[in-house]
Structure 1
Amino acid sequence: MMTLAASLGTSQASANARASEALVAQIVYHGVRVAILSPGSRNTPLALALADHPQVEIKVVLDERSAAFFALGVARASGHPVVLTCTSGSALANYYPAVVEAYHSEVPLILLTADRPAELQGRGAPQTMNQNGFYGQFVKASLTVDAPVPTEPINPDTQTQLSATLQAATKTPKGPVHVNCGFRKPLWDPQVQRQLVNHPAGQAKTVDDDARTTELADAFLDLVGRFDRGVFICGPDAFGSGQDASDMYRLAEMLAWPVLAEASSGARFGHDHRSLVTNYDAAFRTPNAIPKADCIVRFGRACTSQWLAKWIKASEHAVWIVIHDGQTCIDPERKYDQYLDISPTLLLNETATRCLSQMQANLTWLDQWLELETTCKDVIEQTETDLFWEGSIAAACVRNQPNGSVIHVANSMPIRDLDAFGGRSPSDLTVFVNRGLNGIDGTIATALGEKFGQPGAPLLLIIGDLAFRHDANSLALCHDVKITMVVNDNGGGQIFRFLPISQHQAAFEDLFLTPSPIDINALCDGYGLRCTVVETNDALKTALVSEQAKDDSGIILARIDADLNYSQHQSVWQRIQIELTGSKA
């Protein structure tokens, strides 16, 4: 016979299960198909409800910081919101770096954090802190759901609030949302039968505002049609995964405008359009060699190249148009003249329906930019077979990736080198990078998540030795997800060598360069991962081809002479300057 206490316990466990099952039904309705779980006790009801739902795939990641960046990668690559769930206390604090990156990158995450019930708050209970609104301004919506009461049905008002919170994750601009879930013990009881709850409405739909899109497209075409010396700039994430830049190139061809496409824009690789310009970073280091524009249009985020940003800022007489449907307008270069809060793809798809034959094209204008591109390209390509440095590594990675591949590139020098020296490729390559806040944290976990989100695409991670060591905990996930990594082993934070602080002889190495005594080869061995050391361009190409043919993850450790690497950067920029102007600066 069941005692009163046991009966009450079973009732509470049942209430926990019913509330969790209803919540999971809601998140599935809002498009979730993957949940990243970090083990804990208080989130037991959520873990079981997620595991029992046939439409949810669970990936267990022990370290919450790795878990959050992994989820970020899955959501970015798949295009669908991803659930993160953890126990109470410090666990959810480890999500914070990835949450702020997801917010600024507009990646949809749904954070389901477990919490103690109200009667244990503020009383020194173990693993208990104030989790209400924990992520502050860095989530689009936040909701705390009280611990379920066995004698009370699920509150329909709570379900309505929950639906609105979840919808915010996928409503443009996308981003993370937080649902904090209270639970009382017992968290589970074997006598409680699990139930599958189906949302009655099927799946949520996103409705575009067609009238607004038409209006903005008309205004945009009217504006750009007034200028014959314009430039299109494609910043990071201008054309996201699965989106096509063809309509933008069609318009650029009609206008005879150059397209300056960042490596991570979605508009560089796999495109062979005449107007494509990829070597602009080197050219903009010689400002007086750059033609003067009367209109500059940027799709997506602010570009990586500071020299491009300086040119935009200096072009004060050019009309500056920013097109991005983000959390805020991104215009650090200078205050925009026109801001169109709309997806570039949506806007340009609408322009494709228009007759553009009346637009006047200035072919001489485009020819000036193509001459710059050819000059820079010739100098850069001469260096690809000479010395072994970060520029030649970036080029080799691009040239040796098969069609349909994904490249995740770390922040700091790797993204700058890929952008400046990676050039173009006929292969359709998707480049991902955490440019929301530009940090190096969580790089390995993010790349592994992107591979999980696009399992059919080969994935290459290009990362510096500092970022690699920073996220070494995530190497444990490499046995479950197959990726190839190229690690630029150059003795620490070499980006600081290009900054004024490098002249501070007393502090530079210890406080900024921070070389590490940890041997990366030995670190890989400790995680049971294959590590191939390369010191030449030919050896790198051979290793890249070899790793692509293998079924498991592997690391290619590119040993770089830091002094040579620095001097080669300077040499390339100087040679281009001479070619463009006939003299040194």
Structure 2
Amino acid sequence: MNPDLWPVHALVDGLYASGVRRAVISPGSRNTPLVLALVEQGGMELFSHMDERSAAFFALGLARQADEPVALVCTSGTAAANYHPAVVEAYYSRVPLVVLTADRPAELREVGANQTIRQFQMFGAHVKWASEAPVPEDKPELALHMRSLALRAGLVAQSGPQGPVHLNVPLREPLLPPRRGECDALGHLPPLQVHAAAAPPCAPTALAQVEDRLARASRPAIVAGPMRPGRLAEALARFAARLGIPLFADILSQARDSEASVPFYDLALRAGCVPQPPDLVLRFGGEITSKALSSSLKRWGADVVVFDESPVYRDSLHLATQVVIGDPSEWLSQVTATVADWREYLDAWRRASERARQSVVDSPVWFEGEAVRIAVEALEPGHVLVLGNSRPIRDADALALPKAGVEIHANRGASGIDGVTSTALGHAVASGRPTLLVIGDVSFYHDINGLVAVQAVTSPVVVLLVHNGGGGIFRHLAQAERPDAIDWFTTPHALDFEPLVRTFGGQYGRAKDSGELAALLRDGLACPGLTVVEVRFPNDESPRVYRELVARLEAAVDVGSR
């Protein structure tokens, strides 16, 4: 036992005081003091995950679902480096993670000591804040310092915009700390109270300018990108419906069920079957999925008001003519029809959306986009949906209309295909509700180790595995113009996922048509634990079906206009 290590208990108390209630631990020796301090603190829910890369994405899912910080704890060396992909995703998708990496003390660095790398500030610009704790000693003032470092880490992670922070913790052997109940000095530390304010509202002068511009608009529209479920998404949906403003709601906006929503705008825009373009766009949330909408925004030339919680505002198209920082929820709830009402313009967009919907559902074609649509629309209020990157999220955004009350998430900060399964399992554990993951075969392969976290799941988790024999998205991109080299991008494979699923204790089924898919999804969503439903399609089929959908919509509009 090392009596100098008792301040690690104070460090964990600082985490708890900041609002950390969950921690994901990966095994190791150097992080022993941190692990034991977390176990003995007694107030946190702890998870053990043996693969650091998957563990970090699992923590990301926990944190985003609960909207609270989650701690990650690992040993020294490359274990910490495996956290990096999830740290990057957390930074760009604004998810609060507190990364604790155990390390060797200074005298063992750069001298060839085992399992020792340059850990301090190893995540570079992809964390909001980074610091290094002192090597613990039997000193109350040092314990106070470690407690305040941990407190600061948790608070910074939660401040707007939320994101990951990194605290490197060097530890000397021997690595067994005193038990918490044996640390008399810990009880003599002064108590700690924390008062953190919510995000401030937008400046009244800025909102007055927006109202004035809105009153002068002939054809306003709202573009809602990814947002968390809650107050802002709900206020925005009601605002659009109350004023009759067309709402282009991304599949991740949590607002697609608004009465003002134009859910099938992607297909309508591709076919060019739309009303006059907006002259004012109010922009909320993160980056939108639809390339057709992004291209249209650039072409329309409308004034664009960007709302964001942070001065690090999101405007990748560089179209903003006004930027409003803060929480606009209260303003959205209060603005009434004292400004103009644009319901005729909304009705025109809704008719265009309905024509696009009919082109999808009236003559359904069994292809991967239809499988995604069936799965998304099978979910009930309260269910959780996690969408994989590449084709799944694009198909869901273009073709699906989820029921009101379905929470929808995806890793769209950096939009990688790694760690998606682990992220979904984190959402499932934190929510305790039936969860559906829609994912492609390459992405599922990338995070197959993540299935080990199924042991922590108590609710139904269904994975719709869309298997098109590789990276089918490249058939939609410029690489498809080079059939002689396309395999270098699609990476065709012959993986059989059924044995892998059963290795991790999951149930497996394969659907060959829409009826079989609906039945397997229904059964899986009623059965606690993991169910993987696989659907297979030719790698080159999806682009052809989308071309046919757009052509069908164009033809229908052409006939209707005669």
TM-score by length of 2: 0.94
Instruction: Output the CA distance in 2 between the equivalents of 1:77 and 1:131.
Output: 29
TM-fit CA distance, 1:505: 2.2
Contact 1:285 1:577 in 2 (8 A): no
Report 1:427-576 matches (<5 A): 427-455=404-432, 457-481=433-457, 482=459, 483-509=461-487, 511-576=488-553
After superposition, the C-alpha distances for 1:285-324 in whole angstroms (9 at most, x for unaligned) are 13474422110111101210111000000112x1011112
1:334 aligns with 2:311: no
Secondary structure, counterpart of 1:146 in structure 2: coil
Return the alpha-carbon distance in structure 2 between the equivalents of residues 475 and 351 of structure 1: 41
Select 2:382's aligned residue among 390, 398, 404: 404
Query: Which whole-Å CA distance do the structure 2 matches of 1:220 and 1:231 have between them?
Result: 13
Do the aligned partners of 2:7 and 2:146 also contact (CA within 8 Å) in 1? no
What is the CA–CA distance in structure 1 between the aligned matches of 2:357 and 2:206, rounded to whole Å? 36
What is residue 251 of structure 1 aligned with on the other side?
Answer: 239
Q: Kindly provide the amino acid, as one letter, of the partner of residue 459 in structure 1.
A: T
Tell me, in whole angstroms, the C-alpha distance in 2 between the residues paired with 1:70 and 1:175: 15
- CA distance in 2 between partners of 1:194 and 1:535 (Å): 62
Change (3 A) 1:86 1:204: farther
Deviations 1:366-409 (A, max 9, x none): 2211110111111111244xx32122212211222122000000
Tell me if the contact between 1:26 and 1:199 (Cα under 8 Å) persists in the aligned partners: no
Return the match for 2:283 from 298, 302, 320: 298
1:352 maps to which of 333, 338, 347: 333
The aligned runs of 1:320-399 (5 Å cut-off) are 320-326=304-310, 328-342=312-326, 346-354=327-335, 356-384=336-364, 387-399=365-377
Structure 2 residue 210 is matched with structure 1 residue 220: yes
Displacement of 1:257: 1.3
Q: Using the alignment, how far apart are the partners of 2:490 and 2:311 within structure 1?
A: 34
- 1:54 matched to 2:42: yes
Report if aligned partners of 1:214, 1:350 keep a CA contact under 8 Å in 2.
Answer: no
Cα deviation per residue 1:421-466 (whole Å; 9 max; x = unaligned)?
11242x41011000001111000000001111111x2100000111
- Selected match of 1:229 from 219, 223, 232: 219
- Which residue identity lines up with residue 412 of structure 1 in the other structure? S
Q: 5 Å matches for 1:6-25?
A: 10=1, 13-16=2-5, 18-25=6-13
Q: Secondary structure at the match of 1:52?
A: helix
Query: How far 1:148 sits from its partner (Å)?
Result: 1.4
CA apart distance, 1:357? 3.4
Return 5+ residue gaps in structure 2 as ranges. none
8 Å contact 1:217–1:348 — kept in the other structure? no
* Cα distance between partner residues in 2 of 1:22 and 1:219: 49
Q: How does 1:245-284 map to 2 (within 5 A)?
A: 245-268=233-256, 271-273=257-259, 275-284=260-269
Measured at CA, do residues 371 and 199 of structure 1 come closer, stay the same or move farther in structure 2, by a change above 3 Å? farther
Q: Give the drift of 1:582.
A: 5.2
Contact 2:10 2:143 in 1 (8 A): no
CA 1:251–1:190: 2 relative to 1, 3 Å: closer
The 1-side partners of 2:450 and 2:11 are apart by: 29
Asked if the contact 1:140–1:175 (Cα under 8 Å) also holds between the matched residues in 2, the reply is yes
Give the deviation of 1:231 after TM superposition: 0.5
C-alpha distance in 2 between matches for 1:284 and 1:379: 13
Find the residue that maps to 1:553 and give its secondary structure. strand
Letter in 2 for 1:234: A
Q: 1:129: Cα distance to partner?
A: 1.4
Segments of structure 1 that go 5 or more residues without pairing to the other structure are 1-9
Give the residue type in structure 2 aligned to 1:371. Answer: R
Q: Is the 8 A contact 2:267 2:356 kept in 1?
A: yes
Q: Aligned to 2:160, what secondary structure does the other structure show?
A: coil
Report whether the alignment pairs 1:310 with 2:295: yes
Structure 1 pair 350–360 and aligned structure 2 pair: CA distance change class (3 A): closer
CA distance in 2, matches of 1:191, 1:84: 22
Residue identity in the other structure for 2:436: L
**Equivalent residue number for residue 205 of structure 1:** 196
Give, in angstroms, the shift of residue 219 of structure 1. Answer: 3.3
Instruction: Confirm or deny that 1:126 pairs with 2:114.
Output: yes
User: In 2 relative to 1, CA 303–241 (structure 1 residues): closer, same or farther, beyond 3 Å?
Assistant: same
Q: Match of 1:39?
A: 27
Pair 1:414-2:392 in alignment: yes
User: SS where residue 180 of structure 1 aligns?
Assistant: strand
SS in 1 for 2:515: helix
**Is the 2:12–2:150 contact (alpha carbons within 8 Å) kept by the matching residues of 1?**
no
CA distance in 2, matches of 1:113, 1:167: 18
How big is each residue's C-alpha offset from its partner over 1:2-56, in whole Å with a ceiling of 9 and x where there is no partner?
xxxxxxxx4xx2221x221111111111111000000111111100111111211
TM-score by length of 1: 0.90
Distance 1:116 1:183 in 2: 6
The Cα RMSD (Å) is 2.1
Calculate percent identity across the aligned residue pairs: 32
> SS where residue 479 of structure 1 aligns?
helix
Deviates more, 1:323-332 or 1:276-285: 323-332
Q: How does 1:59-138 map to 2 (within 5 A)?
A: 59-138=47-126
Rounded to whole Å, the distance in 2 between the matches of 1:468 and 1:400 is: 21
Pairwise CA distance, 1:146: 2.0
Decide whether the 8 Å contact of 1:283 with 1:290 is kept in 2.
no
3-state SS of the aligned residue for 2:529? Answer: coil
